[in-house]
Amino acid sequence: MNTEKQVLLSAQNLNRNFGAVVAAADVSIDIAKGERLCLIGSNGAGKTTFVNMITGYLKPTSGRIVLADEDITALAPRQITRRGVARSFQIPQLCMHLSVLDNMLASLHCSRGERSFFRSGREPEAVEECHNLLGRFDLAKHASRPVMELPGGVRKLLDIAMALIGQPKLLMLDEPTSGVSAEEKFMTMDTVMNAIDRGAQSQPVTVVFVEHDMDIVERYASRVIAFYSGRVIADGSSSEVLADTEVQRYVTGSVRSTEKAAA
């Protein structure tokens, strides 16, 4: 790992068991500011457990998580969000009967801690800000539609837009392209990454994403970490990690490496 970069988040010796199942075994990862870190691994390898521990949904059995010199291990999800860590979900977590705009407005008010008894929830400035972000995700045309009417790919984008509206320091995307058709995956990731980059003001947003599609990994990740049985088995650039024999055996499979070699 590049030690010259400033560390934003440090996960130190994280362990987490579910009965006899080891979901995280001595996981230590430093995430640098501005990084595009991708977590790969087969189902049950520990990727989502790692994301859940960072965002406070699960508490590690042992170990600590430090965000910008502050220990956040014991904090609740909303306290971690307020410190600048936002996330999206593998299955989008949306308010299905509310409109796209109301979902965004609710996210905006939550991120600002705004819970006035009298101030309108739909003030023009707030609506404008939501429309701007929806525009970056190409969702403005859906603003007045209830979420339940939207297709899966659009819901995925909305889920990420809601996480981004609070201008987080660290954005964690759990399988942002799952459920999206193969031909739309690149388009979805382009939209997401462009929206993140265009929103970055003084410093770039650090992004951690979980992904199974290795073409997506190669194209969008500046660093890749491979998990297997709750352990980190490889850490480096995408080319280094995808060439690792353990990664080929446990994560990507030998077929892919054979194809690469032939190419």
Partner 1 sequence: MIATSSKRVFLVCALVFLLLLGLSLVLPKWLIFLATIALANGLVSLGIVLMMRSGVVPFGQGLVFAAGGYTAALLFNRLGITDALALSLMGGIAAFLIALPFASLLARYRGIFFAMLTLALSMVLYGILMKTNALGGSDGFNVTRPTLFGFRPEAAQSTFLLWGVTAGISCLMAGLARIYCDSTRGLLSLAVRENELRVEYLGMSVVNIVAWNYLLAAFLGGLGGALSVLALGHIDPNFSYWTTSGEFVFVAILAGYQSVIAVFVGSLLLELVRSFSSAYFPNTWQLALGIFLLLVIRFLPDGLGSQMYRLLPKRPTKD
Closest among 212, 213, 240 to 224, alpha carbons compared = 240
Task: Select 111 or 238, whichever has its Cβ closest to partner 1.
Answer: 111
Report if residue 82 touches partner 1, rule: CB under 8 A.
yes
Task: Select 22 or 106, whichever has its Cβ closest to partner 1.
Answer: 106
Number of residues that bind partner 1 (CB under 8 A): 42
Place of tokens 């970069």: 5
Considering only the stretches 36-44, 139-147, 215-223, 243-251, report the one whose residues sit in contact with partner 1 under the rule CB under 8 A: 139-147
Q: Which residues ranging from 17 to 46 are in contact with partner 1 (CB under 8 A)?
A: none
> What is the SS3 assignment for 209?
strand
Q: How far apart (Å, rounded) are the C-alpha atoms in residues 74 and 94?
A: 26
With beta carbons less than 8 A apart as the criterion, state whether 179 and 153 touch: yes
Task: Select 93 or 181, whichever has its Cβ closest to partner 1.
Answer: 93
Q: Which residues ranging from 41 to 80 are in contact with partner 1 (CB under 8 A)?
A: 55, 76-78
* Of the residues 105, 157, 217, 221, which one makes contact with partner 1 according to CB under 8 A: 105
* Of the residues 48, 107, 188, 238, which one makes contact with partner 1 according to CB under 8 A: 107
CA atoms within 13 A on the CB side of 249: 6
Task: Select 25 or 98, whichever has its Cβ closest to partner 1.
Answer: 98
Considering only the stretches 1-9, 25-33, 109-117, 247-255, report the one whose residues sit in contact with partner 1 under the rule CB under 8 A: 109-117
With beta carbons less than 8 A apart as the criterion, state whether 111 and 166 touch: yes
Minimum Å gap between C-beta 106 and partner 1 is 4
Closest among 35, 79, 13 to 171, alpha carbons compared = 35
Note the Cα 145 to chain centre separation in Å. 25
Q: How far apart (Å, rounded) are the C-alpha atoms in residues 56 and 237?
A: 27
Place of tokens 């130190």: 12
Closest among 210, 160, 243, 166 to 36, alpha carbons compared = 210
Report if residue 91 touches partner 1, rule: CB under 8 A.
no
Task: Select 12 or 99, whichever has its Cβ closest to partner 1.
Answer: 99
Interface with partner 1 by CB under 8 A: which residues? 55, 76-78, 81-82, 86-87, 93-98, 101-103, 105-107, 109-111, 113-122, 127, 131, 140-141, 143-144, 162-163, 166
